[in-house]
Structures are given as C-alpha cells and as structure tokens.
Structure 1
Amino acid sequence: MFIDKVRINVKGGNGGAGCMSFRREAHVPKGGPDGGDGGHGGNVVVQADASVSSLIEYRFKHHFKAERGTHGKGSRMHGATGEDLVLKVPVGTVVREYFEDEREVGEMIADLTRDGESVVVARGGMGGRGNIHFVTSTRRAPAFAELGEPSEERWIELEMKLMADAALVGMPSAGKSSLIAKMSAARPKIADYPFTTLVPNLGVATSGDLSFVVADIPGLIEGASEGRGLGHEFLRHIERTALIVQIVDLTGDWEGRDPLEDYEIIKRELAEYASDLAARPRMVVANKIDVPGTEEVCEALAAKVREDSIAAAGGNEFVESPIDPKLYRISALTGAGVDSLKAAIATKVHDLREAARAAEAADIQYDHVWELRREARERRFDIVAEGDAAFRVVGVQVERMVVQTDWENEEAVAFFQHRFKKLGVDTALEKAGARDGDEVRILGYSFAFESPTAHHEDMYQELDL
C-alpha cells in the first residue's frame, strides 16, 4: 500500500522529579543537602531513512510517546534519562505542525531531503533539580526540590514527496507506465483504459555510466491544478523532480483527443499548480509513433515545442531554454527511440545534479532553526482579562514553572515567586491594569496580586489550589 500523508500525535517523555534529601552519616550531624536531579525525558525524533519507502507504519497507529526520565534519589544519585523515540520516514518527507481541534496545518518544521537528516518534533521534559542546587549564602539547607518538567505534546503531519530525478507526466493512457517499464526494472500495471495507474511508480534507469530515478506520475486531467480528479495528490509529487518529461499521445487515445491540446493542457496545469514548475527544465516526448497516420501531428507538435522553447528563453533561440527544443519521438510499445531518450534524460539529469551541487548552500540545520523558533515562542506569555479584577497568565514557560512547583512546600512556593518576578510577569500584569488584591490565574491555580512597586519580599500569596 502506498501511503504518502499521515497525521500523528507525538509526546516526549516527562522529566523525573528532583530529590529533596540530606546526607545522613555517623558523626556528621549536619551533612547538608544531597538530593539528586531527575532524569530528562526522551525526545520524539523524526528521521529520514533511505530504506523506508512509504508512511504505512503510521497508517493505523497514530500516538507515539518517548520514555520518561526517572526520579532523582538521595546521595546525589541522578535519575536516568529517558530514551529517545526515533520515527523513521522516507527521504523527501515534509514535517509540519497540525492542529487537531481546528483541523488545520501549521508551519513547516522540516523538509527531510537527505538520508539520516532528523528533527526533534516533541521535546522531552527537563528533569527537576535536586535540593543541592538551591543552596545559597542565606539558604544553607533548602528543604525543597523541583518536580519534573512536563514534556511537549503535539500533532504533526508527515507528507512524503517522491525524490525522483525525472517525472513522467501526461494525460491518462499517454503511455507513461509502458515507458517506465521499458526504461527501468519497474513493473507497473499496464492496461488500455484511463487511470490504470493510481499511485506513483518509481524506477531506476541506466544509460552508460549514468543512472537516474524516474517517477511515473498518474494521469492528469484538465483542472488538476484546482484539485479535479486526484490532481493535487499527483501534482505534489512533481515538486521535487529536477526534470519534467511530458508524454504526449499522438493518437489522442480512444477519446480522440487533440494531441496539441493535450500538450497545452498539461503545460497549463503544471504552471497553475506551482509557478516555478513552468520554469522547471522540461523535455517533451511524442509517444506511439508506430501508429500509422501520426506523422503530421508529430511535426506540428515539434514546431510547437521549438516555439515554446524560444519563448521560454526570452525570444532568443541562441540562449539556453528550460524547455528542450527537440521533440523526442518514441514508441513505448516497440521500444523505438527509447534508448536515445533515456540517454538524453540521463545526461540532462547529470548536468542538473552538478549545477545543483555547485549552487547548494550550507545545510539547513532544521533542528537548530526549529529549536530557536520554539524557545522564542515558549518565552512569550499573554495577560488576558477575565471579568472584573481577574487576570489569566497564559504561556508555556510560565505554566511549566507552575507545574514544576511543589505547592505543599513553602520554600518551593517562595522560589517560584522569585522566578515569576524575574520573568517580568509582575510588571506585565501591572501594565495590564492589575491592582493589589486582584486575582491572577495560571492553569488551575489562583493567586492574589501585589504590585511589584510595593517591594514586598513575597509578591503573591496563594489563595487556592
């Protein structure tokens, strides 16, 4: 089964709790704090793997969770780090955010185009710090530790796009499957009715010392760029190909279509689906030259291809055009002209690869880019007024601080107040109109606000939990 788009839920492992402990030994009445840290939770990582050919593993299982970190112990014994969960996907997979409630796709997280390339999609929670970290000159015996940090959880969309060097495109029954079968060891289903091919087929073709990967894209119809038929499902697989090979059926098939009109329809649909496809290197192939009576339309098509090639070069026939000015004439049934076509495609693909390699910029570090974007987003918080004298603070980092605090421990609460003030939440609340005694809500907790200008040591007094 060919599965090329799935949506899954990923959740990192929660961090383990830090330990509150004091050293106890004979003849050492005041050994001091020795609570170990909790282990970090494992991450969920999406990694491109050349040995994976589809997303079928995620067809029926939609929830994936990494291992949690274990809790810290006394005697400075730190908890174990949870193991990362690595999800293998085909090379050429695009990873995007997905919002399940709204049924909407968000921004792109990564475009994994190389074997081994990976990105963290759900970060594990940090382990809570043990009480050994909270010793200060005035706090010699901290009787509190941090709880483990909750992990990230999100829905993501995985979309596989074929990584082929050349894509065969054309109307239904133009002979694409027959051609890929002649050019490579691929054995697609071939029959004399439209839409025999319903999923893309890949084959590796060799010509001399050169080889290339060719994709047989299911037949397109007029309106494919607007989603007619399965237009979008097929067209997106052309986006990555370096070379487009347009197949034109000289006979017009059983429907008696006009081959020149077919040529224009496919050219138009490619341009309307994605503007850059109009400028993508393209070769035009006339198929079924073995059928009598096709010579005249073949010459007319050749003239049209030369005309389009000159137009694409800005009207100068001496400037290289993205459209090959030559019309390649073949019979996918008898094999006539296939070897010369294969050699031309191999040479063109080789030249395009070399040009791309020379112009290639430094590798995009998706993990680094996504991490910076994620950290900036987590640091943000919003103040929302909820009725008279009530405000809610919403933000990932603020909410994480609340979850990590042991509310049964007064020292832990005081430490939270200090971090809260340092983050600038107090000042933001005051600017939002909060006054002494107003209620401040975070998750399921509620506090009384006291203005930071009052210079109280404890800005908040907990009301209810």
Structure 2
Amino acid sequence: MPQFTDISRINVKGGDGGAGCMSFRREAHVPKGGPDGGDGGRGGDVIIQADAQLSSLIDYRYKHHFRAERGTHGKGARKDGKAGEDLILRVPVGTVVRELDPDTQEPVFEIADLTHDGERVIVAPGGAGGLGNTHFVTSVRRAPAFAQLGEPAQEHWIELEMKLMADAALVGLPSVGKSSLIAHMSAARPKIADYPFTTIVPNLGVVRAGEYSYVVADVPGLIEGASEGKGLGHQFLRHIERTALIMHVVDITGGFEGRDPVEDYRVINEELRRYAVELSERPQVVVANKCDVSGMTDRVAELKQAALADGHMFFAVSAVTGAGMNTLMLSVGELVARLRSELSSTEDPVVYDERWERRRRERERRFQVFQEEPGAFRVTGTQVERLVVQTDWENEEAIIYLQRRFSRMGVDDALEAAGCRAGDEVRIVGRAFSFEGAEEFPEEDDGDAILVEEDEALRAAVDEKG
C-alpha cells in the first residue's frame, strides 16, 4: 500500500527583482535630455494552487526547495526589465498552508486554507523591480541621479498539511467494521481483516443513495488517549476536522475483549471533545454495527438510549448482511445535503484568492520597533526592509528619498514613541544609521506626489501578477 503523505515542509523563494536603471536621454541635437531609465522586472511568485485531481502531497516528499525566476534589470530609453515567471505548486484541495519559524520549524501562523479547486495563494512573492530614475522627477528635482535597486526575494519554510475533504467521516475504535461499512456503501475497496489497525491510512468512498451523492472517509481507528497523541491519534483526528458529519461506528458485540458498547461510545466522544471542542458539537449519527449477531437486542437498546439522550440519530446495521444499510445511506445523504445547504448560505462571498492576497499585503505593511540594547533600536517589517534593500547607499539623493519615505510611513514617530532619541542607532536589515529625530517636511514640497506615484507603480505591478 503506498504511503499516505499528509504533511510536508518545503523551502520557497520568489524571484529577485531586477534593478531600475539610472539613465539620461543622450541624442544628437538633444543636449539636455531628461531621465529615461527603465524599471527592473518583478521577480516571479511562488504560488500554491489547489487541484481537485491530486490526492496527496507525495510530490513534496523528496523535493523540498522551490525557486521562482528572477526579473531582469531595466535599461535606458525607458526599457523595462522582463518579469520573472511564476512557479505554481499544485496541492490537493483541503490543504492548509502555514508559515514556519526559521529556528524551531514550528508553525507561526496560517497563510491560507485552500478548500476550493483552483484556489491559490502567493507564499513567496517575487521581489519588486526597482523603479528607474524617471519616477523620481519632481518640480525641484528635474534630473534625479538615482534609481532603485531590485528587491531580493525572501526565502522561508512553509508547512503543507492536507486534510481530507469528505462530507462524512467514519470514526470509532479499531476493528469496529468501518472498512466493511465503506466497502458496502461505496466502490472503495479498503483492506479488511478482523484485527486492530487494518486501516493505516484514510480511505475515501463516494456513496450514491437515491437522489443523494456524498463522500465518506474511513478514518483509521482511534484509541483511548488519541487526543493526547497516543498511537497515531493526532494524525488521524486531524482528518475529521473538515467533515460536516461524523458517523460514529460502534461494534455492538464488544469485539474479542467483550467491551461495553456504551462505554466504547463514550470513550471516542471524549477523545473528540479533548482534541477539539467543536468536534464534539459536530452533527453526529451513531451506527451500531454487527447487529446480525444473535443476542444483541439488549445492547442495541442501551446504545440507542445513550445516543438519543445525546441528541444523535441512531442506526442498527450489519455491514456483512446489509441489514439497515439502505436506511442509513439515505438518511445520511439527506442530512449531508441539508448541512451543505446551510454551509453555502453562510459562506463569505469574498473571492478566496483576494482574501489571502489581502491578508498577505496587510502583513507586509506592518512594522515593529524594539530596543535591542541601550541606545540601539531595530525596525522590522517587510515593506520597511524592502525600502532599505532597494536603496543605493552610495547615492546621497537616494538616502534622502528613503528618509522622506520613512517619515511618511510613520517610522520616525514610532521610533520616538519607543524611546529612540537623536543620536541613537537605528538598525534595519543589515544597515545601521544615526537617528536625527522625526522631521517635518513642508507641505509645498511635491515629494508627496512622487510617493503616491511610486506606491501606485508598485501596486500596479502586484495587481498585474494577481
């Protein structure tokens, strides 16, 4: 049986942005031509895209590093550099993407939850192309002798976790007959044997009953303590999180050990509650299996009483003889259809791709200021760091422009609020400079116009990619 890969960790890096060009028009009979430097090309993005044709993350089991194409540099005569090609990594529908801490490799935050075919999220944006010197012309700066460098793309690790996208999940202790049930209900043909842990990976089956069609997952058996990670508890429990309905299967015979079916029922529900409270509140039907065995009438009645007391529908069936199976399949189909309808009526109408992109841009705009040591402060944040790495530090005009940007973004005010005073050292990425205090730029200076123009240019580049 092929190994089921449901979690992978990969390293992704967008393409570096090309540098903008500092150039002036030089032609015969045009002794004082204006600036004509082209923009650098934006680096390609690394994009994760959900694909309904995929069923595992096996493609990322052996290859872990992925790089998008870099952008080329701008040239004179207003010739822009070529943008790098995007790199699209396809994953199964139901994949959660998380950012990992570079040191501990533990998840930091969720980037996206891809639940629709074709849904995509940028996980490693390409570096912005540097703007050519044509963008920095103002009424008082007619011949800007600087351009922006291309932005190096960030490299980081992300986690891909695939969660089954099934309408209903069969859960229960090992060897209660879940595999036999899914084999009877659908065309799935799991390995079936009368010993614990026959199922070691989830099986999916499409059930057709009357007018209804739905997907059922046979999740490997849970044991007491699964919520604490005993056995493969966490790996199995995570597959239940997405399902709209839980089909709780109980072996009414108690198995070889002669267990109490009601106690088995309580054990599994407690494990669901401990793992995630919302799982215990998920719609559930209780299925008493192996009811064809003689002498089970009292046990069926006791389990039915316990299930109904908890507000759950109850079915007594036999996966071997088929007794009660049609009623179960039709009832589950009707319940799944109703749950689907309720979910679709409450879904956010916002386009999914736009939601993830909006979140990413919001993260990039944030910055933090903190004191590293007496008289030294560090500023961190994607957009702030991008401006620093795109600045030509050998060019005084470019440095003055950077200072103006920081003032407009509120970085200077944030430094003062954090206790930074004139003469203190400010560190951003690999650069350090002396803080001169928040500066007030005169309103009549049309620097604002160029800032707006640059922001629009960068925004247009992002929009064009998305």
Q: Please, what TM-score do these two structures have when normalized by structure 2?
A: 0.88
| Deviation per residue, 1:276-295 (Å, 9 max, x gap) | 22222211111112222223
Q: CA RMSD in A?
A: 2.4
CA-CA distance at 1:41 after TM superposition: 1.3
More divergent stretch after superposition (371-380 vs 334-343): 371-380
Three-state SS of the structure 2 residue aligned to 1:127 is: coil
Q: Do the aligned partners of residues 455 and 174 (structure 1) sit closer, same or farther apart at CA in structure 2, a change above 3 Å counting?
A: closer
Contact 1:16/1:69, CA 8 A, preserved across alignment:
yes
Q: Distance in 2 between matches of 1:204 and 1:260?
A: 29
Could you say which residue in structure 1 is the equivalent of 2:408? 422
Q: Do the aligned partners of residues 42 and 332 (structure 1) sit closer, same or farther apart at CA in structure 2, a change above 3 Å counting?
A: same
Could you say which residue in structure 1 is the equivalent of 2:13? 11
Could you say which residue in structure 2 is the equivalent of 1:64? 66
Three-state SS of the structure 2 residue aligned to 1:305 is: helix
| Deviation per residue, 1:291-332 (Å, 9 max, x gap) | 2222331222223223333xxxxxxxxxxxxx11xx322221
Could you say which residue in structure 2 is the equivalent of 1:239? 241
Contact 1:386/1:392, CA 8 A, preserved across alignment:
no
Match among 385, 389, 394 for residue 403 of structure 1: 389
Flag structure 2 segments of 5+ consecutive residues without an equivalent. 446-466
Q: Do the aligned partners of residues 381 and 352 (structure 1) sit closer, same or farther apart at CA in structure 2, a change above 3 Å counting?
A: closer
More divergent stretch after superposition (187-196 vs 427-436): 427-436
| Deviation per residue, 1:55-105 (Å, 9 max, x gap) | 111112222222111111111111111122222111111122211312321
Q: Do the aligned partners of residues 205 and 414 (structure 1) sit closer, same or farther apart at CA in structure 2, a change above 3 Å counting?
A: same
Contact 1:202/1:216, CA 8 A, preserved across alignment:
yes
More divergent stretch after superposition (361-370 vs 6-15): 361-370
More divergent stretch after superposition (186-195 vs 112-121): 112-121
Q: Distance in 1 between matches of 2:260 and 2:227?
A: 20
Q: Distance in 2 between matches of 1:453 and 1:130?
A: 26
Could you say which residue in structure 2 is the equivalent of 1:219? 221
Could you say which residue in structure 2 is the equivalent of 1:320? none
Could you say which residue in structure 1 is the equivalent of 2:451? none
Q: Do the aligned partners of residues 60 and 351 (structure 1) sit closer, same or farther apart at CA in structure 2, a change above 3 Å counting?
A: same
What letter is aligned with 2:291? I
CA-CA distance at 1:34 after TM superposition: 0.9
Q: Distance in 2 between matches of 1:94 and 1:131?
A: 42
Could you say which residue in structure 2 is the equivalent of 1:344? 331
Could you say which residue in structure 1 is the equivalent of 2:98? 96
What letter is aligned with 2:346? A
Q: Do the aligned partners of residues 50 and 415 (structure 1) sit closer, same or farther apart at CA in structure 2, a change above 3 Å counting?
A: same
Q: Do the aligned partners of residues 286 and 429 (structure 1) sit closer, same or farther apart at CA in structure 2, a change above 3 Å counting?
A: closer
Three-state SS of the structure 1 residue aligned to 2:247 is: strand
Q: Do the aligned partners of residues 280 and 440 (structure 1) sit closer, same or farther apart at CA in structure 2, a change above 3 Å counting?
A: closer
Q: Distance in 2 between matches of 1:165 and 1:426?
A: 53
Q: Do the aligned partners of residues 175 and 376 (structure 1) sit closer, same or farther apart at CA in structure 2, a change above 3 Å counting?
A: closer
Contact 1:109/1:366, CA 8 A, preserved across alignment:
no
Matched, 1:412 2:398: yes
Contact 1:402/1:416, CA 8 A, preserved across alignment:
yes
Q: Distance in 1 between matches of 2:341 and 2:439?
A: 65
Contact 1:382/1:395, CA 8 A, preserved across alignment:
no
Three-state SS of the structure 1 residue aligned to 2:343 is: helix
Contact 2:364/2:383, CA 8 A, preserved across alignment:
no
More divergent stretch after superposition (127-136 vs 393-402): 393-402
Q: Distance in 2 between matches of 1:7 and 1:215?
A: 25
Match among 199, 202, 220 for residue 200 of structure 1: 202
Contact 2:422/2:435, CA 8 A, preserved across alignment:
yes
Counterpart mapping for 1:114-125 below 5 A: 114-125=116-127
Three-state SS of the structure 1 residue aligned to 2:326 is: helix
More divergent stretch after superposition (120-129 vs 266-275): 266-275
Match among 199, 220, 229 for residue 231 of structure 2: 229
* Percent of residue pairs identical: 63
Matched, 1:386 2:388: no
CA radius of gyration, larger in = 1
More divergent stretch after superposition (183-192 vs 370-379): 370-379
CA-CA distance at 1:210 after TM superposition: 1.5
Q: Distance in 1 between matches of 2:36 and 2:60?
A: 45
Q: Do the aligned partners of residues 344 and 441 (structure 1) sit closer, same or farther apart at CA in structure 2, a change above 3 Å counting?
A: closer
Contact 2:41/2:82, CA 8 A, preserved across alignment:
yes
CA-CA distance at 1:366 after TM superposition: 5.5
Counterpart mapping for 1:170-181 below 5 A: 170-181=172-183
What letter is aligned with 1:349? V
More divergent stretch after superposition (133-142 vs 213-222): 133-142
More divergent stretch after superposition (234-243 vs 434-443): 434-443
Could you say which residue in structure 2 is the equivalent of 1:35? 37
Q: Do the aligned partners of residues 385 and 170 (structure 1) sit closer, same or farther apart at CA in structure 2, a change above 3 Å counting?
A: closer
Counterpart mapping for 1:370-381 below 5 A: 371-372=358-359, 374-376=361-363, 378-381=365-368
Q: Distance in 2 between matches of 1:350 and 1:452?
A: 61
CA-CA distance at 1:12 after TM superposition: 1.4
Three-state SS of the structure 1 residue aligned to 2:127 is: coil
Contact 2:121/2:356, CA 8 A, preserved across alignment:
no
Q: Distance in 1 between matches of 2:378 and 2:280?
A: 51
CA-CA distance at 1:343 after TM superposition: 1.7
CA-CA distance at 1:365 after TM superposition: 3.5
What letter is aligned with 2:373? E
CA-CA distance at 1:31 after TM superposition: 1.9
Match among 311, 329, 332 for residue 316 of structure 2: 329
CA-CA distance at 1:370 after TM superposition: 5.2
Flag structure 1 segments of 5+ consecutive residues without an equivalent. 310-322, 458-465
Q: Distance in 2 between matches of 1:296 and 1:419?
A: 78
Could you say which residue in structure 2 is the equivalent of 1:443? 429
Counterpart mapping for 1:120-159 below 5 A: 120-159=122-161
